[in-house]
């Protein structure tokens, strides 16, 4: 037992725990080194550099030993510690690096074409075939809306009007097209053992058109601009249709033909073309 006690006295015990500025509490266990009188009498240094260096090696790289300094003493020496702000700065830099990496991998938002928003660029379901459609006016502009998977979308929405992506025309931003299927389509649909109501999305007391309707919806009523267009449903042309947004934000016209016969059966879509005058 006396020999074991002598052997224990020749090995350093784990270092004490410290707390700096009342913010950080860390335990630092140094490697076993021979005990000298200077180590025994020395007071614990109030610096958690050793524990932080173990947790975050990139934060405090080891400094090379100077002349006259042993490797063991250099390993036990801590770099100057500035307090909790240094660790917080390291965490902020790590978070910023992750965000920067994510932002660099994210694709850039698509640029909108003239007259169309990001939701309806050229080549999508809503296309501006000709005309700028900017603040200069809507005359001469041609807009095409291809309603994809029309039957499935109407069935899933229980006959509610379908809404197109937003676009700008004639100095009016935030315009949308609304397609209502009509009473003839709803009469042939049965869901859950009952027929669908053809007046979904219509105001109370409004007459439901037989073959549906196409509406042009503005952001709000009271806009002084007005729009006029000819509507082509599949291969049938009708119009002109005049839209005055000074009193009502939703304007449009009823369809004069059965849109079911004008559908592209192979693609399952309906082409609606508006020629503004």
Are residues 44 and 13 in contact, defined by beta-carbon separation less than 8 angstroms? no
Quote the pLDDT of residue 225. Answer: 78
Determine what percent of the chain is predicted with pLDDT higher than 90. Answer: 22
Question: Could you give the CA distance from residue 130 to residue 145 in angstroms, rounded to a whole number?
Answer: 13
Quote the pLDDT of residue 164. Answer: 93
- One DSSP character per residue, the chain reads -HHHHHHHHTSPPPPPPEEETTTEEE---PPP----HHHHHSPPPS--HHHHHHH-TTTSPPPPPPTT--HHHHHHPPPP---HHHHHHHHHHHHHHHHHHHHHHSPPPPPPPTTB-TTS-TTSSEEEEES--STT-STT-EEEEEETTHHHHHHHTTTPPEEPPPEEETTEEEEEEEEE--HHHHHT-EETTEEPPTTTTSPTTPPPPSS-EEEEE-SSS----EEEEEEEETTEEEEEEEEETTT-SEEEEE-SS-GGGGSBTTTTBEEEEEEE-
- CA neighbor of 45 nearest in space, from 12, 72, 79: 79
Quote the pLDDT of residue 69. Answer: 52
In degrees and rounded to multiples of 5, residue 50 shows phi and psi of: -65, -45
- Tens of pLDDT, residue by residue, the chain (277 residues): 777 776 777 654 444 444 554 454 444 444 444 444 444 444 444 444 444 334 444 444 445 555 555 545 544 444 444 444 444 444 444 444 444 444 444 344 333 334 554 343 334 589 888 875 444 568 889 999 999 999 899 988 888 899 999 988 878 888 999 999 998 898 887 665 555 555 555 554 467 889 999 999 988 777 777 889 999 999 999 989 999 888 889 999 999 999 999 999 888 899 999 999 8
Tokens of 41: 């009498």
Question: Could you give the CA distance from residue 135 to residue 115 in angstroms, rounded to a whole number?
Answer: 9
- CA neighbor of 127 nearest in space, from 138, 107, 113, 139: 113
Cβ neighbours around 239 below 10 Å, total: 15
Domains of the chain: 2-82 (no CATH), 126-201+208-276 (2.60.210)
In degrees and rounded to multiples of 5, residue 117 shows phi and psi of: -90, 180
Length of the chain: 277
Are residues 144 and 273 in contact, defined by beta-carbon separation less than 8 angstroms? yes
Q: Which residues contact 18 (CB under 8 A, 6 or more apart)?
A: 25, 26, 28, 44, 45, 46, 47, 48
């Amino acid at each position: 037992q006396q020999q074991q006690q002598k052997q224990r006295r020749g090995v350093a015990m784990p270092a004490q725990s410290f707390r700096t500025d009342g913010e950080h509490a860390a335990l630092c266990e140094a490697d076993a080194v021979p005990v000298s009188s200077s180590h025994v009498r020395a007071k614990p240094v109030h610096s958690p550099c050793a524990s932080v260096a173990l947790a975050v090696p990139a934060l405090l790289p080891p400094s090379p030993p100077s002349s006259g300094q042993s490797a063991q003493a250099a390993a036990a020496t801590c770099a100057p510690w500035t307090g909790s702000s240094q660790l917080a700065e390291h965490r902020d830099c790590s978070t910023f690096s992750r965000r920067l990496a994510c932002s660099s991998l994210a694709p850039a938002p698509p640029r909108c074409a003239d007259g169309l928003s990001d939701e309806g660029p050229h080549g999508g379901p809503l296309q501006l075939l000709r005309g700028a459609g900017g603040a200069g006016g809507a005359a001469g502009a041609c807009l095409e809306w291809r309603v994809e998977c029309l039957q499935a979308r109407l069935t899933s929405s229980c006959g509610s009007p379908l809404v197109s992506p937003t676009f700008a025309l004639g100095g009016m931003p935030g315009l949308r097209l609304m397609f209502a299927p009509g009473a003839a389509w709803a009469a042939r649909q049965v869901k859950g053992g009952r027929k669908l109501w053809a007046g979904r999305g219509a105001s109370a007391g409004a007459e439901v058109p037989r073959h549906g309707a196409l509406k042009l919806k503005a952001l709000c009523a009271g806009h002084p601009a007005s729009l006029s267009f000819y509507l082509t449903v599949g291969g049938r042309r009708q119009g002109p249709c005049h839209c005055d947004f000074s009193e009502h934000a939703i304007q449009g016209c009823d369809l004069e033909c059965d849109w079911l016969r004008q559908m592209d059966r192979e693609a399952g879509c309906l082409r609606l073309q508006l020629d503004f005058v």
